[in-house]
Amino acid sequence: MISYATNPIAWSNDDDRSLGQDITLETCLSEAGAIGFDGIEKGHKMPDDGTALKAALNAYGLAFVGGWYSTHLLTRSVEAELDAARRQVAMTLEAGGTVFIAAETSNAIHGADIPLAERPMLTAERMARFGEDMERFAERIAAEGLPLVYHHHMGTVVESEEDIHRFMDATGPATRLLLDTGHAFFGGADPLALARRYMGRVGHIHCKNVRPQVMQRVRGDRLTFLDGVRAGVFTVPGDPDGGVDFLPVLQEAARHGYSGWLVIEAEQDPAIRHPHRYQSMGLNALKDMARKAGLDTAPAGEGA
């Protein structure tokens, strides 16, 4: 069974908090619930206490999915990372979340004033050590009751198709992949090729779209990740300006019996692209494609 979720980053950006700073959490949650989402990921305006978070979401008919956790395994030990992650694990479990979303950010530049062209990279040897540490960390998180899903992301050490392959080779079964179609496309990877190769280890899917013209400008003009976000590099499924082909990815997910969340995580400037309009567009398109793919067999008009 699949369920549909969104991320509050469409209403209030986590990296550039000037985007959507005047939009209240209540507006975000009420619109997400009214649009028809089943759940939502964590945002910075949400309570950090799991019990309070669950109550806040339940008031709008939303389940908690999980939230981003920044690992620093390139600079600290697995044991130190586990100590640092305890609060996130407890919050996620108390709120009813089902995934632990991790990404290495110790040297990431996605929130910095540094061109994406200068993003950090690891040698093959360092990637292998990093993968070993991530697998040990993932094993311990899984023992707490949460599968770890790793988020490949622009501006980090796991960005390109080669990065993803090396990371997946260096990790084991406890480290699941968060397949993000938008970050894959932006990073030069083919989302379908990744789905075909790794769907058996995919534990979470972000259905993010990309505007190719803006992406090319970010690359050509050596812009930062946040420059791209502000310029509208990301959008939702169903946007005619987007370049990601979602249907074959969803067909591959169906072929492997994927069960879990499909999340529309598409940061845009809410003052330019109204969240209610774009999230509605995205959810309608995503549900239609999921049904065509055989991933969601609910009749039209019903939930997941």
> Residue 246 in contact with residue 185, Cβ under 8 Å?
no
Spatial contact of 156 and 193, defined as CB atoms under 8 Å apart: no
**What are 271-288's pLDDT values in tens digits?**
999 999 999 999 999 999
For the cut 90, the answer to whether the pLDDT of residue 44 exceeds it is yes
Query: Looking at residue 297, what is its pLDDT?
Result: 61
CA-closest candidate to residue 289, choices 250, 253, 262? 250
Q: What is the mean pLDDT of residues 202-217?
A: 98
How far is residue 256's CA from residue 80's CA, in Å, rounded to a whole number? 36
* Strand-pair category, 234-235 with 209-210: antiparallel
Residue 206, pLDDT above cutoff 90: yes
Give the Cβ contact number of residue 302 at 10 Å: 9
Return the CATH class of domain 2-293.
alpha beta
User: From CA 70, how far away is CA 129, in angstroms rounded?
Assistant: 18
CA angle in degrees (0–180, nearest 5) for 294-295-301: 90
pLDDT tens-place string over residues 48-70: 999 999 999 999 999 999 999 99
pLDDT digits (tens, 9 = 90+) for 5-24: 999 999 999 999 999 999 99
Residue 302 predicted with pLDDT over 80: no
End-to-end, the C-alpha distance of the chain in Å comes to 7
The mean per-residue pLDDT over the stretch 205-233 comes to 97
pLDDT at 304: 37
Q: What is the pTM of this model?
A: 0.96
Radius of gyration of the chain (CA): 18
Percent of the residues in the chain that have a pLDDT greater than 90, as a whole number: 97
Q: What pLDDT score was predicted for residue 296?
A: 76
**What confidence tens digit (pLDDT) does each residue in 137-163 have?**
999 999 999 999 999 999 999 999 999
pLDDT band, residue 299 (cuts 50/70/90)? very low
- 43 φ, ψ (degrees, to nearest 5): -130, 165
Over residues 20-42, mean pLDDT:
98
**Cβ distance 56 to 29 under 8 Å?**
yes
Which amino acid, residue 38? D
Report whether pLDDT(216) > 60: yes
Is residue 298 scored above 80 in pLDDT?
A: no
Distance CA 210, CA 66 (A): 23
User: Does the pLDDT value for residue 97 go beyond 50?
Assistant: yes
Backbone dihedral angles phi then psi of residue 262, each to the nearest 5 degrees: -110, 115
User: Over the stretch 224-269, which tens digit does the pLDDT of each residue have?
Assistant: 999 999 999 999 999 999 999 999 999 999 999 999 999 999 999 9
Write down the H helix ranges in the chain. Answer: 25-35, 50-58, 78-95, 124-143, 161-170, 181-186, 191-198, 212-220, 225-231, 246-255, 275-293
The answer, yes or no, to whether residue 34 has pLDDT greater than 70, is yes
